[in-house]
Amino acid sequence: MGYFKQKFRSVKKLPTWLYWLPARLMVLLLHTLYRVRVEDPFDHIGQARGAVSVTWHNRLMFFAAIFPPATRRRTVAVVSASRDGQYVTDFIANLGLRSLRGSSTRGGAKAQLAAVHAIRDGFNVSFTPDGPRGPRYVMKNGPIQLASLTGGGIIPISVNATRCWRVKSWDQFQIPKPFSRLTLVLGERIAIPPELDAEGLEHYRKLVEDALLAITVDPAR
């Protein structure tokens, strides 16, 4: 067993076609085993263009699948440049999302440049601002810097489950329990001024962090 595990971990990229069926099954499970509700008072799903969005790392189980296909096609996700990030990139590609590879610890400058071009082309760019390694529910500066450069503003987004299991990981990754309710919540877009200094960057980082926490609900186990 150890040999096969080691062989699998040495594979950096699996064939893309392997993800097609799991992606379809995820969408099917989402709409058959869960009650889905959307709270989008500002119609970001229908109208948002060229914005930055932020979602906590532990809310990603159904994050891509819960959005309509048209929204996925105009969204670009920033994904870690690690091997695990490659798996995520190939999986969400089967749901219609493009990816930019990079994080605060690896390839960040290259990813930010690509994200600037994506926003100027009218795509929304999605971050997990406490990834890839935490601390949980603490935002990093990358989304603030990007929104300041592009003027697109930041939209806080959360997926809240009424009941879930939690993985024993740094983020306590949530797996919603079958037949629980999933609520997709999109908060008000937050404008970020250009040319922020260090003090301004920290001010808006905390402002967006607080806004995202305000729409984040931790369910009972």
**What confidence tens digit (pLDDT) does each residue in 45-80 have?**
999 999 999 999 999 999 999 999 999 999 999 998
Q: What is the pLDDT of residue 12?
A: 64
Is 61 inside a domain boundary?
yes
Is 2 inside a domain boundary?
no
pLDDT digits (tens, 9 = 90+) for 155-175: 999 999 999 999 999 999 999
Q: What is the pLDDT of residue 4?
A: 46
Is 59 inside a domain boundary?
yes
Residue of higher predicted confidence among 87 and 215:
215
Q: What is the pLDDT of residue 13?
A: 72
Is 172 inside a domain boundary?
yes
**pTM for the structure as a whole:** 0.90
Is 220 inside a domain boundary?
no
Overall number of domains in the chain: 1
Of 138, 60, 127, residue with least CA distance to 95 = 60
The average confidence (pLDDT) of the chain is 91
Is 71 inside a domain boundary?
yes
Cα(87)–Cα(14) distance, integer angstroms: 7
Q: What is the pLDDT of residue 52?
A: 98
Query: Position of tokens 């499970």?
Result: 29
Q: Is 205 exposed, middle or buried (0-12, 13-18, 19+ CB in 10 A)?
A: buried
Query: Position of tokens 């003027």?
Result: 151
Q: Angle, nearest 10°, between helix axes 142-150 and 108-120?
A: 40
pLDDT digits (tens, 9 = 90+) for 105-129: 565 677 888 999 999 999 999 999 9
